[in-house]
Amino acid sequence: MKFLLATDGSESSLKALGETFQMLNSIRDTLDLITVVDNPTLITEEVISSNIIEYSNIAEKILDHCERRCLEHNFILGKNLNRKILIGDVREEIIKYINQKGPFDMIVVGSRGLGLFKKLMLGSVSEYLVHHSPIPVYVVKLDGNCRITEPQL
């Protein structure tokens, strides 16, 4: 099986990584780890380059942490583990990665449980993926509840 884990370093996305290890076998399966540096809020060119560098450094640290956890489960970079930092709109970049690097059997994401106001204003990445992903989405919540959704084509 080939799984994709989209992480932002949050507690729920780290819980999603743990759930992923429950489903995969390092002998036969592969895992792609991605994180996205969201750039729509970067306005001027000067700000863009300094913020992208700063955010990319944070993204590297997030993936480094996930990679160390993957090693504990025998997922090794270049063998059965891939990692990538994407830059752009989080939702669009994840869907683009699925389409370009697939086929994947499933994407696993954490649900950060945004409050109602933030959810109305920003929407949820996991909710967007549930409605737009061409592959099944496994959403992991902090309270331990999980749900798998099939693509809605």
The architecture in CATH of the region 2-149 reads: 3-Layer(aba) Sandwich (3.40)
Yes or no: say if 107 and 135 are a contact pair by the CB < 8 Å rule.
yes
- pLDDT score at 30: 97
Query: Which pTM does this prediction carry?
Result: 0.84
The C-alpha atoms of residue 21 and residue 26 are separated, in whole angstroms, by 9
- pLDDT of 5 above 70: yes
The C-alpha atoms of residue 60 and residue 148 are separated, in whole angstroms, by 28
Yes or no: say if 35 and 8 are a contact pair by the CB < 8 Å rule.
yes
Hey, which bits of the chain come out as E strands? 2-6, 30-37, 81-87, 106-111, 137-141, 146-149
Percent of all residues in the chain with a pLDDT value above 70, rounded to a whole number: 77
